[in-house]
Structure 1
Amino acid sequence: MSVRPYLARFALLGAVLAAPAARASDLYSYVDSDGVAHFSNAPSDPRFRRIARLKDGGGVYRGGKAQARARPLPRSEAQARYREHIRAAATKYNLPEALLLAVMAVESNFDHRAVSEKGAMGLMQLMPGTARDMYVGDAYEPAENIEGGARYLRILANQYAGDMVKTLAAYNAGPEAVRRAGDGVPNIPETREYVRKVVALYEAYKAGR
């Protein structure tokens, strides 16, 4: 799967992949004078402060099977149900709303009570450890779950320099699996299919379909 076409479509926020001293599992943040929150795993600005330490290998399914395989809700219905939460998270973490919709569609089919066989929870299917690291108190509460999933996507996007394919692969299988795959998409059928579906839905939602 070619990753180059997606690089320009996935905006970055803050410093990325710079200081060698920073741990890839640490998350740093600061809020600038305009009220914009900046996040990075490799801070280059003295205003950054560490706010979380992620466990290596953290992902959503870690090889487990996604629960939701039904046809996703139409874009208009999904947006109507969670529009305010999606917009807030997309704005805060500088992510496309279409990407959050696509991830939710594949992860849970927009079922906020969804639970995978591996224990991933809610709309963005957060594993318990990932939910804790993303400060999600109730993974079944839509606003908290969407916020946590968006925060984790931003961390991964910063880690992979905005590469959407690698970001999605790590969201599904975990950053450690991506590392073991030579910084590429792991040869895991579920993960490859997951990336394909999310990217296809992202393009469809972005086009208004």
Structure 2
Amino acid sequence: MKTTKYDSIFKKAAKKYNVSESLLKGIAKAESNFNAKDVSSSGAMGVMQLMPETAKGLGVSNPYDPEENIMGGAKCIAQKIKEFNGDIRLALAAYNAGSGAVKRNGGIPSYCKSYVSKVLSYKKAFETAKSAS
């Protein structure tokens, strides 16, 4: 995996929220495969699959706008990373299932384990592609 059509937005979001660009791309790949028009069965929208209430809370007025969505997703994962003291795995589980689920479970809920692994493997693939370029 090398580049995406949203690379400039991922770069800007990573810089603004001090989050790894490859992590953001890994989330987007796992969530929507970079589809700005994607809607999940639970109602999550856009590239980073933001739920309507989450999008609103992050200041995203149009979740189908790739830039707004990616910036919102970056802000969200940055908040989760801070909330879970830098633990990327817990932050990803919280991004996927909500912070409450992670806290109630005392860690990554079983139904989130494959999501967390998938995002981390995509993250690694983007890092590998970047270092090979």
Q: TM-score range by the shorter chain?
A: over 0.9
Higher helix share: 2
Shift of 1:207: 1.4
Shift of 1:192: 1.0
Shift of 1:204: 1.3
Shift of 1:187: 2.1
Gap regions ≥5 residues in structure 2: none
With normalisation by structure 2, the TM-score equals 0.95
1:186 alignment partner in structure 2: 109
**How many residues end up aligned between the 2 structures?**
130
AA of the residue aligned to 1:86: F
Stretches (4+) displaced over 4 A: none
Q: Distance in 2 between matches of 1:193 and 1:153?
A: 18
Q: Distance in 1 between matches of 2:2 and 2:19?
A: 17
2:9 alignment partner in structure 1: 85
1:100-142 C-alpha deviation (Å, 9 max, x unpaired): 1100000000110000000000000000000000000000000
Higher strand share: 1
Coordinate RMSD, CA, aligned: 1.0
AA of the residue aligned to 1:201: Y
2:69 to 145, 156, 162: 145
Shift of 1:147: 0.4
* The structure with more radius of gyration: 1
Where in structure 2 are the equivalents of 1:67-82 lying within 5 Å? 74-76=1-3, 78=4, 81-82=5-6
Shift of 1:84: 1.6
* Identity over aligned pairs, percent: 42
With normalisation by structure 1, the TM-score equals 0.61
